[in-house]
Amino acid sequence: MRERQILALGGHAMQPGEPLDDLLLELTGASRPRVLLIPTASAESEAFVIGFYETFAHRAEASHLSLFGIPPADIRSIVLEQDAIFVGGGNTANMLAIWRVHGVDRLLREAWEAGIVLAGSSAGSICWFEAGVTDSFREELDGLDCLGFLPGSNCPHYDGEAARRPAFHRLVAAGFPAGFAADDFVGLRFTGTELAEVVASRPDASAYRVELVNGAVTEQRLDARLL
């Protein structure tokens, strides 16, 4: 049985030569890994899907799962035959609702437990945690219950959007689960349910542990390995 792994990215630009994408392929241990994109959160944005193929097709067996229209009959085999699965950004609440209708949430847990590497950016980052900070409902940010593969909460785009840090602090102060925030171009790499390391493809970027201690929200900057 392969080790369970999740790479949760605070935000990044999927493009050839991006070290975070290189790391995803390395984590599979395969010479030419099978990588599946699930672009549900962006309503299967054509530009995003094309960008995925441009990034991965020359060095991986790249494919994507479409759940709009009539979904494929063999979703389970599509999901479980992969070495890695990448979830794109967009509206997390809509994505989770669609996944649950088609059982994709259960299949992703099965994939994770089988050692298929799970990864994603923004919506594709917070979805793996108990809860996440999202703009799925309104411009002001809210908390959202997610899949719960990983304990605690997650906030992406911590340095990329001015409202993220105060919103995460506000939510944690009000009883939201403690968790991790990640700047853009930062990844949180988990083995099992434990944070193994923080990685970054930008020198000044980092991640943070945010929690409530003695009634006050604290934020601890975590060391990041520069890729």
Instruction: State percent of the chain over pLDDT 70.
Output: 100
- Give the model confidence (pLDDT) of 99-137 as tens digits: 999 999 999 999 999 999 999 999 999 999 999 999 999
- Give the model confidence (pLDDT) of 89-106 as tens digits: 999 999 999 999 999 999
Identify the band that residue 145 occupies on the pLDDT scale cut at 50, 70 and 90: very high
The number of distinct structural domains making up the chain is 1
Identify the band that residue 2 occupies on the pLDDT scale cut at 50, 70 and 90: confident
User: Is residue 138 over pLDDT 90?
Assistant: no
DSSP assignment of the chain? -PPPEEEEES-----TT-HHHHHHHHHHT-SS-EEEEE-GGGTS-HHHHHHHHHHHTTTSEEEE---SSSPPTTHHHHHHT-SEEEE--S-HHHHHHHHHHHTHHHHHHHHHHTTPEEEEETHHHHTTEEEEEE-SSSSS-EEEE---SEEEEEE--TTTSTTHHHHHHHHHHTTPPPEEEE-TTEEEEEETTEEEEEEESSTT--EEEEEEETTEEEEEEE--EE-
User: Is residue 1 over pLDDT 80?
Assistant: no
Provide the CATH number for the domain around residue 89: 3.40.50.880
* Bridge partners, residue 134, by sequence: 142
> Cβ atoms within 10 A of the Cβ of 227, count?
14
Q: If you average pLDDT over residues 2-31, what whole number do you get? A: 95
Model pTM? Answer: 0.96
**Residues with catalytic function:** 122, 157
Q: Are 87 and 147 in contact (CB under 8 A)?
A: no
Q: Which domain holds residue 72?
A: 5-226
User: Is residue 139 over pLDDT 90?
Assistant: no
- Give the model confidence (pLDDT) of 168-222 as tens digits: 999 999 999 999 999 999 999 999 999 999 999 999 999 999 999 999 999 999 9
